[in-house]
Structure 1
Amino acid sequence: MFSSTIKISSVSDYIVPSQECIKPLMKNVKLQLDDPSIQLKPNLIKNQNNVAKVSLQDCLACSGCVTTAETILIQTQSLEEFLSAIKKYKNPAIGISPQARASLSYVLNFTDVQMHSILQQVFQEMNVTLYDMSEYTKIAINNSIQEFKQTNIFPLLCSECPGWVCYAEKTLDESIINHMSKVKSPQQIFGKLLKNKHDYIATIMPCYDKKLEAVREENNQDVNIVLSTREIEQFVKDFIQKSNVIPQQIPLSTLAINLQEYHNSSSNNYLDYIIQSILIPNWIVKQNIRKNKDFIEITIYNEDMEQQGIFARVFGLKNIANLITQIKTKTCKYKYVEIMACPLGCLNGGGQIQIQKNTEKAIDLIPKLKEIMTTQKIQIDNQYENEQEMYLTSFKHIKNENNFQW
């Protein structure tokens, strides 16, 4: 998925329901290799009338997973599973990311506020409490600012994107992993805090890999299920068609700051807020496009035009590979790097709704989604500066056998 070179012996994805990803019959059994009844490899070759598919049984047939096994994750974390599960709990909750809500707003032709009020009505009918994930992103950003000011490891690499983390775990060594931020993602912060209030936690995210993040061993007590924007699109459409939905004007805080030249609202603005946290009046911020618009270099100067730090926003795996080369060769000059695996960031995540693919390109769609997200502008506040903020900093990459885990 991420690398053109596959090393089966060194890859170990953490996937449930089978943590070791090995068929039970292969354990503690001395195989007779000349016994034709024992199939050592799954038979994925179908007849000409069928498309070859990897089923759940096939995936459990070996220990050589090389991707995030989205087939399994979608089977075990589907809309059907969510609708079935919430009937068993007294007080379920669901959080939606601003990127996912923007995608729904655009497709269904509502404002951000209207879309959130409609979703409140959708989930209220099912006795599910809806939350705006922006509030929990603020906690993650506050933690990230504190971490940046306290660290002596540079560059500090943002680790919210599970696609980037998965890539790093499979292909990079500990010297790179040690540069990654230890702050929990907004999704896991949301689950961690809400578990005390709700007995079932779900999220709606723009990325299928957020499912992988939720089922990891160190996270699976926080969030029960993750749905992609695309998975709930038709469900929301059906609700609007059959119900008399009246969008309400509700208070909704979206993550957006003053639109500086370097501002980017596609992926939660980690870099923007970290730069703002160290800026002094009369200091100057300049940006430079490196390889392409997904590799932005941002330099801060004081009033005397003396350089005070260089930062970067790096989206897309090709750009990430260039960054890693710089770190390995000790030529990297950045203090903090916001990294996202998807080109154009989370608004272009793999779980977002596909829009008129023949007539509209992602590069044209993203500005429209950004405009939806930044309709209401709010400065980040410090209301989580006390116990909640300090409680959520135990997010670490630790070596566990062949892979690194949060």
Structure 2
Amino acid sequence: MSAILSADDLNDFISPGVACIKPVETLPAAVPPTDEAALEHEVILEGQGPSSTTNTNAPTQISLTDCLACSGCVTSAEAVLVSLQSHSELLSVLDGAPGLRIRYDESGEASVEGLENPDSKLFVASVSPQTRANLAAVIGPGTSEADAGRKIAQLLMGEGGLKAGGRWNNAFTWVVDTNTAREACLLLGAEEVLGESGAAKPILTSSCPGWVCYAEKTHPHVLPHMSRVKSPQALMGTLLKTTLSRKLGIPPDRIWHLAVMPCFDKKLEASREELTDAVWGGEGKPGRGVRDVDCVITSKEILMLAEPRGLDFFGLSKAPTPTSLQIPFPDPAVHRFLFPSRRIRQSDTAAGTSGGNLYFTLQYVAAQHPGSNIETIRGRNVDVVEYTVKSATGEPIFRAARYYGFRNIQNLVRRLKPARPSRMPGGKAVGTTKRPIGKSTGMEYAYVEVMACPGGCTNGGGQIKVDDPVVVERKGSEAKPGPLEQKQWLAEVDEAYFSADEAGAERGEDLDETGEEFGSGVLGGISSPHIHDTLAHWANITGIDIDRLTKTSFREVVSDVGKNKPSDTERVVQLAGKIGGGW
């Protein structure tokens, strides 16, 4: 799922008669056995079902959530259903009904207009820095990540963007930067590593959904090691849905959240049952509630979004959104968090382009030990790097690593695989492997940053590549780009990713909302007191425990593909057991 996928690219669609592992949770009907009984777990396309009417089982309905719980027919099933989260779906929702509107009275109280139409929604979007960097590279030299971000905002909420067309002239009320949620995730992740989080060491990052799906389906033994902190996309979705629903007094299903991301796998993350209002608004357990992120589109789909409306994305203004369209967020403290007056830094280039989880944690550890320094050791390839924090006397304090790309990830998970008990009485465990330790000190890793894409998130599957027609056309190159050109292209994207630092420094945008430089408690431009105060305020206004708001969970995916199907009697016993029957 880390490659670019679209319905047009697929040649292995599920055809009628291919068994699906989704169980049909009903007791078997008492009908005479027929050949058609074998179809009770089958996917039947409309108009192509069995002609006989003796089969009483309804066709199985498959959703994207079901496919996430399957390690069998994932290639086509996930890809086809992921296409339901697309630019076409976004335009369809925008044209579904007039959007909800926010109005403020003289006292500053917010009210919502348009609730009488049950199909109307409040539209809000969040945009990743990797997407902005990718589009900045496409736009051309001299374009910063911030410039591309302003073009995206003009498309989503400006007068000359989506608002200029469509049935209802709908647009997004707010477009926010996921970097604000990233700062909270970095701080929470570092505290998780050094605190008593309950996760087994080494703690593995979980912000890459491609890696998470891979672990859940093929290596469940690593799940106890996974960081419980939500990704920036997920945390932002929870923040927007909970705050807006509480402050505006509207249900979360009236709030429609779009995320613009560099990766198709983010569509899978948005469909997880762990990231719905069933967790934060119900009993705290995963379920099929209202998703925190309703739709994910990628950098490539931003251009595809503009085309049906006859818009030229590259012709949109780089100017900030007019003040007249900047509606205050209904909570002032959350507004200051989402729309800080300072520029959000992308950190040092050593942090990489995947958010900087590992880099911030290393800085966080070093800050706890004055005089310490960070040593770097290159691994077997550029996507494997080891880090050691050493004290002033040269003693190793903390050890971590970075593993990007599935080939390198496989080496990591093998080292985490537990030993199998011996079948011989008194025998030693077999299959014991070496723990993931550093080469220089022999100290076990405490933290590992894992990403599915080689090179990190700026190389995500949803990014515009050097051989895409739009890039070839704008560069005016007639020769087909090769690996060297792709490498140079990624360097341009990475350069744009860090361009925000230079742009912000030139304009002096390194101040907090009071106009003063951040004081104590600041690390890498991130103010720990500000983050903690905001999180505490968030929990207070929603009445939800902060762990339920910021943490998530993972589960092993068990497939019965290729296994013998249970008999009707066995299924009755299983179902009875689920409902507490005494069988």
Class of the TM-score when normalised by the shorter of the 2 chains: 0.7 to 0.9
Q: Contact 2:378–2:384 (CA<8 Å) still a contact in 1?
A: yes
Residue 76 of structure 1, aligned match among 73, 78, 84: 84
Q: Determine the C-alpha separation between the residues in 1 that align with 2:362 and 2:240.
A: 30
Q: Determine the C-alpha separation between the residues in 2 that align with 1:25 and 1:146.
A: 42
CA shift, 1:265, in A, is 2.6
Gaps of 5+ in 1: 3-19, 45-55
**Letter matched to residue 133 of structure 1:** T
CA separation of 1:294 and 1:41: change in aligned 2, threshold 3 A:
same
Say yes or no: does 1:189 pair with 2:235: yes
Q: Determine the C-alpha separation between the residues in 1 that align with 2:27 and 2:139.
A: 51
**Letter matched to residue 67 of structure 1:** V
Say yes or no: does 1:370 pair with 2:505: no
Bigger mean CA deviation after superposition, 380-389 or 250-259? 250-259
Gaps of 5+ in 2: 3-19, 46-60, 101-121, 158-162, 164-169, 246-254, 277-290, 322-340, 418-432, 437-443, 469-479, 502-509, 511-524, 537-545, 561-583
Q: Percent identity?
A: 28
Which residue number in structure 1 is paired with residue 151 of structure 2? 118
Q: Determine the C-alpha separation between the residues in 2 that align with 1:295 and 1:345.
A: 12
CA shift, 1:182, in A, is 0.3
Which residue number in structure 2 is paired with residue 342 of structure 1? 453
Q: How many residues align?
A: 371
Q: Deviations over 1:51-87 (max 9, x none)?
A: xxxxx98999997634263333333211111112134
Q: Contact 1:163–1:209 (CA<8 Å) still a contact in 2?
A: yes
CA shift, 1:22, in A, is 4.2
Which residue number in structure 1 is paired with residue 211 of structure 2? 164
Q: Contact 1:98–1:254 (CA<8 Å) still a contact in 2?
A: no
Q: Contact 1:296–1:312 (CA<8 Å) still a contact in 2?
A: yes
Q: Determine the C-alpha separation between the residues in 1 that align with 2:370 and 2:70.
A: 56
CA separation of 1:58 and 1:255: change in aligned 2, threshold 3 A:
closer
Q: Deviations over 1:223-268 (max 9, x none)?
A: 1111111122233477653896331268673442234xxx133210
Q: Determine the C-alpha separation between the residues in 2 that align with 1:83 and 1:21.
A: 33
**Letter matched to residue 74 of structure 2:** T
Q: Determine the C-alpha separation between the residues in 1 that align with 2:527 and 2:458.
A: 24
CA separation of 1:363 and 1:245: change in aligned 2, threshold 3 A:
closer
Q: Contact 1:159–1:165 (CA<8 Å) still a contact in 2?
A: yes
Residue 211 of structure 1, aligned match among 242, 254, 267: 267
**Letter matched to residue 331 of structure 1:** R
Q: Contact 2:70–2:557 (CA<8 Å) still a contact in 1?
A: no
- Helix, strand or coil for the counterpart of 2:401? strand
Where do residues 4-19 of structure 1 align in structure 2 (5 Å cutoff)? none
Which residue number in structure 2 is paired with residue 67 of structure 1? 74
Where do residues 2-401 of structure 1 align in structure 2 (5 Å cutoff)? 22=22, 28=28, 32=33, 34=35, 65-67=72-74, 69-87=77-95, 88=97, 89-90=99-100, 91-109=122-140, 110-124=143-157, 125=163, 126-128=170-172, 129-151=174-196, 153-174=200-221, 176-195=222-241, 196-197=243-244, 199-220=255-276, 221-236=291-306, 241=312, 245-248=316-319, 253-259=343-349, 263-279=350-366, 280-328=369-417, 329-332=433-436, 333-356=444-467, 358-361=480-483, 362-377=486-501, 379-382=525-528, 383-388=530-535, 390-391=546-547, 392-398=549-555
Q: Determine the C-alpha separation between the residues in 2 that align with 1:371 and 1:144.
A: 26
Q: Determine the C-alpha separation between the residues in 2 that align with 1:349 and 1:162.
A: 11
Q: Contact 2:151–2:313 (CA<8 Å) still a contact in 1?
A: no
Q: Determine the C-alpha separation between the residues in 1 that align with 2:202 and 2:365.
A: 16
**Letter matched to residue 175 of structure 2:** L
Q: Determine the C-alpha separation between the residues in 1 that align with 2:38 and 2:223.
A: 44
CA separation of 1:26 and 1:352: change in aligned 2, threshold 3 A:
farther
CA separation of 1:324 and 1:79: change in aligned 2, threshold 3 A:
same
- Helix, strand or coil for the counterpart of 1:310? strand
Q: Determine the C-alpha separation between the residues in 2 that align with 1:268 and 1:63.
A: 29
Q: Contact 2:365–2:389 (CA<8 Å) still a contact in 1?
A: no
- Helix, strand or coil for the counterpart of 1:266? coil
**Letter matched to residue 137 of structure 1:** R
Q: Determine the C-alpha separation between the residues in 1 that align with 2:356 and 2:132.
A: 17
Q: Deviations over 1:138-175 (max 9, x none)?
A: 1111110111121363101001111111111111134x
CA separation of 1:278 and 1:26: change in aligned 2, threshold 3 A:
same
Q: Determine the C-alpha separation between the residues in 2 that align with 1:351 and 1:342.
A: 11
> How does the TM-score come out when normalised to structure 1?
0.80
**Letter matched to residue 359 of structure 1:** P
CA shift, 1:360, in A, is 4.9
Which residue number in structure 1 is paired with residue 12 of structure 2? none
CA separation of 1:264 and 1:342: change in aligned 2, threshold 3 A:
same
Q: Contact 1:73–1:212 (CA<8 Å) still a contact in 2?
A: no
RMSD: 3.5
Q: Determine the C-alpha separation between the residues in 1 that align with 2:74 and 2:182.
A: 27
Which residue number in structure 1 is paired with residue 541 of structure 2? none
- Helix, strand or coil for the counterpart of 1:286? strand
CA shift, 1:303, in A, is 1.9
Q: Determine the C-alpha separation between the residues in 1 that align with 2:314 and 2:363.
A: 44
